[in-house]
Amino acid sequence: MTTSPDLQPQRISLPLPLYKPIATWVLLGINVAVFALATLLGGSTNTEVLILLGAKVNPLIATGEYWRLLTSMFLHIGVMHLLFNGYALVAVGTELERLLGAGKFLAIYLLSGLFGSLASYAFSNSLSAGASGAIFGIVGALVAYYVRHRERLGSWGQRRLANIAFFVGISLVLG
């Protein structure tokens, strides 16, 4: 039995939108600049410096310093904290920004960071800083993208999801 050439499965390729990840690199630059400033002012582990630069401090937020909910995501406590979050931002952020564009990427990053800070405010009285809430937000958005487009992306999309799950697992163990 022979099959006619008209009945052969055809490959369909769909171009992915690929934007330049400018916002990711700008965010990384801001984080590095704030870290350098903290270092110049006395160190990124110095509580007074962290408070001065906008760390999440519940009593100060309660008195009306709501801006700390945003500024805290640009501060990092120690060089390892900055390196880990910077790596995660570049590894995951560039991919999400290429897929969604700078505007949507920034909205996800900033809103995730804000909600992460709000959760920290609600559940922890400790001083805190870092971009972890924003990073997990962009990871979640990337997972949602691949799940939503899983049929179109096939096995490649499934491998990307597995890689992201591995990344999240490592982050949880190290964090």
| CB-based contact 71:54 (threshold 8 Å) | yes
Q: In this predicted structure, which of 49-53, 112-116, 149-153 has the lowest mean pLDDT?
A: 149-153
Once rounded to an integer, what is the mean pLDDT over residues 81-85? Answer: 93
Q: Is the dihedral of CA 75, 36, 169, 166 positive or negative?
A: positive
User: Which pLDDT belongs to residue 111?
Assistant: 97
What pLDDT score was predicted for residue 10?
60
Over the stretch 44-60, which tens digit does the pLDDT of each residue have? 999 999 999 999 999 99
Q: 3-class DSSP state for residue 56?
A: strand
**Beta-carbon-side half-sphere exposure of residue 117 (alpha carbons within 13 Å):** 29
Q: What mean pLDDT do residues 93-110 have?
A: 94
Q: How far is CA 128 from the centre of its chain?
A: 17
Say what the pLDDT of residue 159 is: 80
Closest by alpha carbon to 68, among 76, 60, 79?
60
Q: State the pLDDT at residue 167.
A: 73
Mean pLDDT of the chain: 88
How many Å apart are CA 163 and CA 160, to the nearest integer?
5
Q: Per 3-state DSSP, what percentage of the chain is helix, strand, and coil (rounded to 5)?
A: 75, 0, 25
Mind listing the pLDDT tens digit for each residue in 2-57? 555 566 666 655 556 678 899 999 999 999 999 999 999 999 999 999 999 999 99
Q: Return the percentage of the chain with pLDDT > 70, whole number.
A: 87
Residue 26, CA atoms < 13 Å, CB-side half-sphere? 10
Residue 102 parent element (H or E):
helix 102-123
Mean pLDDT of 139-162: 81
Which residues are within 8 A (CB) of 25 and not within 5 positions of it... i.e. 6 or more apart? 90
